[in-house]
Amino acid sequence: MIKLLFLPLLAPLALVAQNKDRHTLAGTVKDRSSGETMIGATVVLMERPVTGTVTNSYGFYSITAPSGTYHVLISFSGYATDTVEVDLHKDTTLSVSLAVGQELKEVVVRGGRSNTNITQSLMGVQKLSTADIKNIPVLFGEKDILKTIQLLPGIESAGDGNSGFFVRGGAADQNLILLDEATVYNPSHLLGFFSTFNSDAIKDVTVYKGEMPAQYGGRLSSVLDVKMNDGNDQRYGVSGGIGLIASHLNFEGPIKKHKGSFLVTARRTYADLFLKLSTDTTLKKSTLYFYDLNLKADYSFSDRDKIYLSGYLGQDKLGVSGQFGIDWGNSTATFRWNHIFSNRLFSNTSLIYSNYKYNIAINSNDDNITIASRIVDLHLKEDLQYSLGTDSKLNFGIDVIHHEPSPGIINTNAASSYNPVSLQKKYSLESAAYISHDWTPLPGWKLTYGLRGSLFQVFGPGKFYTYDSAGDVIHTDSASSGQIVKSYFNLEPRFSTSFQIGDNSSIKAAYARNVQYLHLLSNATSSTPTDLWIPSSPNVKPEISDQVSLGYYHNLLDNRYEFSAEVYYKALQNQIDYKNGAQLQANENVEADLLYGPGRAYGLELYAKKKEGKLTGWVSATFSKSQVKIPGVNNDTWFNSREDEPVNLSVVGTYKASRKWSFSANWVYNTGYPVTWPSGKYEVNGQPVYLYTTRNGNRMPAYHRLDLGATVITHKTQHSESSWTFSIYNAYDRWNAYIITFKQDPNNANQTLATQTALFGIIPSITYNFKF
């Protein structure tokens, strides 16, 4: 079986032999004014129009073609298309800088408009640039990529105003969230109302909804690959924004002109300044803010070597002075080295550090308690791209991550009600090797297929417990430092293909297996900073998903309109649920409180987008189902999971009324998520206790909301600009249910009541943005 899988992987190598009279054209595509490398720019040889390529994450492209003279067409959405004549009689380097296209003017370059959504073999991919999210109105006027992607098909919001999201019925922890390749374990600030991604610092966002290329792994549902901006390598610039709740500032410039640049982006919220104005003594003493800092520097030593250093530091603080405080945050650092071995072979080596931590301090009635928890990753990654020809490219590499979660160290004072405790640290190594081949066997038929082999090793030192069905420890193994306690090896095949029908349509099919070795434990209704990440272990098996999907893509009016329809079916293994009364906090035996079962999810995703003109935007509709089967729950039958929202609609529109004014609106609707409500009640010791019959047998009320926005540019020159953005979140003031709780009627002991809590009514906001 394994031999058969490798056979197609070797086929392209045979093609190399035929490449004698072929030469390679390679180079980098950049923005002319800032020197920023451009991801996903299209490079096509006009004389061989079927064989184009796109630049990789570092702006690099490589095309191999027979000897000859070619016209090379380089294009990128929003930029003026460039054409260069090249004599390809030897391997040639061609680096191009594109200038920003004239706004509002319809630049019509035949073939310049991208139709990669049709031609590329990958499916279930959504790409957003900063320009896409700029005009979409959001909560508190704070632009947010994690909220904008929730408007795309197949991606659901985890709650009102929440940056958490579910992809194709998968839980929030099944999304791999990468910032310049570093894993971000908690992508939210302030209880999830803001994401950790400051949109000023973001260049490009790609979401893979399950069928990710083989270089990604470790999560079941999706990969959210966020790339930070590079600095401007030609001139210094300052930009920023002042909003009601947060302000941000961005400073960038050359380290050495055309050689290197730096970028510093900072953001700070000041909700707590308003608390200080409160007359309430407790609120006055409260702290509530976050800040984040993005840093990036790059430097080219030669045409062949470039290094990047990027860093992120985010911190939330929340608390009441002298009583309670919690702070949490991610920090990541990525060092990357791009090396071009030859025009055909591109290499990137990454060394990545990622740290997520939280600290809690409690001071009340003689208790002084601190709780510290963190998860530290060290990650080495080598990715290679080898161009075999115009229509054939090989990606391969290795990936090694050392995980070291420290679930909790609790310190207490002598007078405290609690003992100090140190929960065991957990050590594991997650390694992978992958190979993937992009191939165009025939004009109009593209193929990406690959294989990822992943190995997860659980190491000592530590105690490893075996539990009986009641959750009591029946056996304890002690492992010494470095001893391998358990290994899991999985082969993850990935396959996707597209068949083009005429110029404007294509059909695609894909299959992918994904394996997840880290799991987030949370039985709360929304994510909290104290949710616990646990590695797979002898008790906790890796989660596995197999997803198949099929899609139809159609573009209209010279690619001005895009339409797509995708269906998917996903089978899941070893999904995690919790026993009644599961104790997830400070519990060495937390694994005894877990239950495991299979899951399944399927759905239809429709998407229509208008890409050009005064009015742009999209309509997205998702019809889906997501279920699990957990032993002992609902008589061992399939039931709807928390992520099951059968209907999900969004409409997003931006209207550019003039050079100064633009308006935007978005409307969302989704079925309420499944919840477990009591159907009856009974009395125990004078108190009503609720009687439950079916897990997730009820649904929250449907959610819908309209947001409006307007932007006016008050000043604009070549390098400077200032504008005001007005937005109204929840314009028709619908108090969407956030949670529903149950209690005894304080006025009638025989009566019980249901209480609905809503978080946000209508919220207007205003932001001032500047750039010079």
User: How far is Cα 156 from Cα 149, in angstroms, rounded to an integer?
Assistant: 9
Instruction: CB nearer to another protein: give 469 or 717.
Output: 469
To another protein, the closest distance from the beta carbon of 568 in angstroms equals: 25
The minimum distance between CB 112 and another protein, in angstroms, equals 47
Asked if the peptide bond before residue 461 counts as cis, ω within 30 degrees of 0, the response is yes
DSSP classification of residue 56: -
Dihedral in degrees, nearest 10, Cα atoms 144, 148, 149, 153: 170
In the complex, the smallest distance separating the C-beta of residue 462 from another protein, rounded to whole angstroms, is 20
- Specify the residue for token string 């949710």: 531
Q: 403, 500, 414, 392: which is closest to 458 by C-alpha?
A: 403
- What's the CA gap between 217 and 210, in Å, rounded? 10
**Smallest distance from the beta carbon of 219 to another protein, in angstroms?**
21
Minimum distance, C-beta of residue 183 to another protein, in the bound complex (Å): 24
Residue 728 DSSP label: E
Taking the least distance from each CB to another protein, the nearer of 301 and 692 is 692
Least Cβ distance, residue 417 to another protein (angstroms): 5
- State the minimum distance, in angstroms, from the CB of residue 758 to another protein: 5
Closer residue to another protein, CB minimum distance, 18 or 756: 756
C-beta closer to another protein: residue 95 or 359: 359
Say if residue 259 is exposed, middle or buried (CB neighbours under 10 Å; 0-12, 13-18, 19+).
middle
Q: CB of 737: closest distance to another protein in angstroms?
A: 8
> Smallest distance from the beta carbon of 316 to another protein, in angstroms?
11
Quote the least distance from Cβ 678 to another protein, whole Å. Answer: 5
Backbone angles phi, psi at 33, to 5 degrees: -85, -30
Q: Which is nearer to another protein, 118 or 158 (CB)?
A: 158
Which of 252, 591 has the CB closer to another protein? Answer: 591
Q: How far is the CB of 268 from another protein (least distance, A)?
A: 18
The two tokens of residue 76 are 């990128």
Closest approach of another protein to the CB of residue 273, in Å: 14
Which residue is listed with tokens 């985010």? Answer: 314
Question: Is residue 36 within 8 Å of 3, Cβ to Cβ?
Answer: no
Pull the structure tokens for residue 663: 């308006």
User: What is the identity of the amino acid at 138?
Assistant: V
Q: How far is the CB of 306 from another protein (least distance, A)?
A: 44
Q: 3-state SS string over 76-136?
A: CCCECCEEEEEEECCCEECCEEECECCCCCCCCCCCCCCCHHHHCCCCCEEEEEHHHHHCC
Give SS3 for 151.
helix
Q: What angle do CA 506, 510, 516 make, to 5 degrees?
A: 145
Read off φ and ψ for residue 513, nearest 5 degrees: -110, 130
Give the shortest CB-751-to-another protein separation in angstroms.
6
Query: Helices (H) and strands (E) in the chain — how many of each?
Result: 6, 51
Which of 439/738 has CB closer to another protein?
A: 738
* DSSP-derived 3-state class of residue 284: helix
* Residue 687 or 720 having the CB closest to another protein: 687
CA dist., res. 485 & res. 530, Å (int): 27
For another protein, the closer of residues 720 and 756 by Cβ is 756
Give the integer Cα–Cα distance in Å for 725 and 769: 8
- Least distance in Å: CB of 139 to another protein? 11
Q: How far is the CB of 286 from another protein (least distance, A)?
A: 7
d(CA 724, CA 713): 7
- What is the phi/psi pair of residue 704, to 5°? -150, 155
3-class state of residue 183 by DSSP = strand
Smaller CB separation from another protein, 87 or 366 = 366
Give the span between the Cα atoms of 225 and 194, in whole angstroms.
18
Q: Do residues 603 and 624 lie in contact, with contact meaning Cβ atoms separated by under 8 Å? A: yes
Rounded least distance, CB 380 to another protein, Å? 35
Residue 315 amino acid letter:
Q
Whether the Cβ atoms of residue 557 and residue 544 lie closer than 8 Å to each other: no
Residue 671: strand, helix, or coil: coil
CA gap 329, 358 in Å, rounded: 7
CB nearer to another protein: pick between 507 and 595: 595
Distance CA 553, CA 56 (A): 23
Closer Cβ to another protein, 194 or 568, answer by number: 194
The amino acid at 218: G
Two tokens at 364? 């009340």
Q: Is the Cα dihedral 175, 181, 182, 187 positive or negative?
A: negative
**Residue whose pair of structure tokens reads 């991610």 in the numeric block:** 330
- Pick the closer one to another protein by CB: 193 or 291: 193
Side-chain-side CA neighbours of residue 326 (13 Å): 11
Tokens at residue 609, please? 């987008």
For residues 549 and 123, the answer to whether their CB atoms sit within 8 Å is yes
Neighbour tally for 434: CB within 10 Å = 22
- Would you say 368 or 457 has its CB closer to another protein? 368
Q: Which is nearer to another protein, 129 or 416 (CB)?
A: 416
| Eight-class DSSP state of 636 | G
